[in-house]
Amino acid sequence: MQRVAVPVPLMDGGREGPQDRHLEKIGAPGPMTVDFEERVDPARLRAYRLERTKSALAATDLGALLVFDHNNIRYISGTHIGEWARDKMTRYVLLTRGGEPHVWDFGSAAKHHRLYAPWLKPENVNGGMIGLRGAVAPEAGLVAAAAAEIHDILVREGVADMPLGVDIVEPPLMYELQRHQIQVHDGQQVMLDARQIKSNDELMLLNQAAAMVDGVYQMIAEKLKPGIRENELVGLASKMLYDLGSDHVEAINAVSGERTSPHPHVFSDRLIRPGDQAFFDIIQSFVGYRTCYYRTFNVGLANDKQRDAYKKARGWIDDAIALVKPGVGTDQIALVWPKAEDFGFENEMAAFGLQFGHGVGMGLHERPIISRLNSLKNPVELQEGMFIALETYCPASDGVSAARIEEEVIVTAHGAKVVTLFPAQDLFVANAY
């Protein structure tokens, strides 16, 4: 499959230059609709995403894309029925070259789309079900019927003799598609190409999502006292996020004391104690756009070893942020971070995700992925309009504590615009004694 760079579309059909994007001015004005400010325009957002997908598809030798990934479904079709459906593999969208999206959704959700999603052709929206991850066996015929329906559309829209790009797929459906002589190729790469450059609407949603987490960290700073448990803080943060309008709290890491080194990537019921170093990662989405946003606190007081670890982690992240601008390779950023062996790990695979950068959008991990594991051999050039999370980690010399910091940035023509604003330049001591 051949791929080329995907141009940034303007809504009037032209092409956008860097001077037109004004990325430094992206704000977080609030989720309400008002008539006195221009905010996120949902119609413009959907049009941009569909045009990006069509352009990415046109840049390949594929005839169509078949997507099951919820992020790709929402990106192409503007439909969403809740996070409960994410792992069911029953919703899917087909987009052919020059065509419009065909959507198959869970039961009555399809009828709801026909009533309330006028940007979709009603005749292209139908109920779909291919087995709920095998709960209905392939012998029932649902998979074969779906493959035949997809094949008929490919024939009708003139692309049946071209490869079909698929993002994720269950083996029974792939086998049925192949029985129709359909060549199945990797479609996830096409979708990641499409999604890596964000429109101003997308960046505003990402910035708004970050602003929600700013507020949650203020609450955590106030509640972070001896006697509260990690899981209690997760519960309080989750409630506040949903109160603020989050549509999915994917995960909140709350990691304290001896649990911080090595990083377990999960919260527990540990009781917070005086002098603990504790870090948190808040992963949630607002109108489908995610955050990945770490902060480290000390509880009541901090010692010199904890402060030293924090200063090192802060220095590494500041060095990375200083490099962020269009044209810089991800290898250049990875090289300013320490090698795995320098902070207690046997190799880069074992330390993956600790000195780390990743694109954020509708997915938690989009392009580019930045680490010593992959970026030194396969660097990616930063482009204006990318939205990237940069995160560092430093274990303290006490053998117990560790610092973890993350900043989300927009790549602008003039460098990085940081949108994660809760104070993190110095170690934050919550409820100091």
Whether 130 contacts 143, CB under 8 Å: yes
Q: Which of 163, 195, 227 is the last residue of a domain?
A: 195
Tens-place pLDDT, residues 307-329: 999 999 999 999 999 999 999 99
- Taking the CA atoms of 208, 211, 213 and 219 in sequence, report the sign of the dihedral they define: negative
Residues 191, 329 share a domain: no
- Contact residues for 262 (Cβ-Cβ < 8 A; gap 6+): 344, 395, 402
Mean pLDDT of 335-350: 97
Q: For the beta carbon of residue 126, count every other beta carbon within 10 angstroms.
A: 15
* pLDDT, mean over the chain: 95
Tell me how far apart the 2 most distant CA atoms of the chain are, in Å.
72
pLDDT tens column, 55-78: 999 999 999 999 999 999 999 999
Residues 177 and 320 in one domain: no
Confidence at 119, pLDDT banded by 50, 70, 90: very high
Domain membership of residue 252 as a residue range: 200-430
Residue 50 has pLDDT above 60, yes or no: yes
Which two structure tokens, joined as six digits, stand for 402? 């560790």
Among 161, 195, 229, the domain-final residue is 195
- The answer on 331 and 287 residing in a single domain is yes
- Name the one residue in this structure whose structure tokens are 């029925």: 81
Residue type for 422, please?
A: F
Tally of CB atoms within 10 A around 429: 18
Q: What is the pLDDT of residue 15?
A: 47
Query: For residues 401 and 276, what is the distance between their CA atoms, to the nearest angstrom?
Result: 8
pLDDT of the residue at 22 = 77
Average pLDDT over residues 194-222: 98
The CA-atom distances, in angstroms, between 19 and each of 39, 248, 411, 412 are: 20, 34, 13, 10
Could you please report the per-residue DSSP string of 26-87? -----SS--SSS----HHHHHHHHHHHHHHHHHTSS-SEEEE--HHHHHHHH-----GGGTT
In tens, the pLDDT along 278-287 reads: 999 999 999 9
pLDDT value of position 4: 58
Are 41 and 219 in contact by the 8 Å Cβ rule? The answer is no
Neighbours of 387 (CB within 10 A): 27
pLDDT 10s digits, 264-281 = 999 999 999 999 999 999
Residue 158 is predicted with a pLDDT of 97
CA distances to 36, 119, 383, 428 from 201, rounded to whole Å, are 17, 18, 17, 32
Q: How many domains does the chain have?
A: 2
Q: How confident is the model at residue 18 (pLDDT cuts 50, 70, 90)?
A: very low
pLDDT tens per residue, range 74-117:
999 999 999 999 999 999 999 999 999 999 999 999 999 999 99
Q: Count other Cβ atoms within 10 Å, centred on residue 358.
A: 20
Structural domain includes residue 411: yes
Helical spans, DSSP H, in 157-199: 171-179, 188-195
> What mean pLDDT comes out for the span 375-397?
98
Classify residue 359: in a domain, yes or no: yes
Last residue of a domain, one of 195, 227, 242: 195
Are 185 and 323 part of one and the same domain?
A: no
Provide the pLDDT for residue 20. 53
Say how far apart CA 110 and CA 81 lie, in whole Å: 10
Q: What percent of the chain has pLDDT over 90?
A: 92
- 160 with 250, same domain: the answer is no
Mean pLDDT of 189-195: 98
| Res. 229: pLDDT tops 70 | yes
Average pLDDT value for residue range 169-193:
97
The answer to whether 382 touches 328, Cβ cutoff 8 Å, is yes
One domain for residues 104 and 136: yes
Predicted local distance difference test score (pLDDT) of residue 10: 45
Tell me the CATH number at 141.
3.40.350.10
Residue 6 lies in a domain: no
Is 343 in the same domain as 366? yes
Q: Are residues 168 and 222 in the same domain?
A: no
Mean pLDDT of 331-341: 98
Per the structure block, which two tokens stand in for 76? 């192409």
251 & 329 share domain: yes
Which pLDDT score is estimated for 13?
42
Cα 81 to chain centroid, rounded: 18
- Closest to 403 (Cα-Cα) out of 263, 253, 230: 263
Residue 273 and residue 257: Cα distance in Å, rounded? 8
Quick one: average pLDDT of 335-353? 97
Residue 325 within any structural domain of the chain: yes
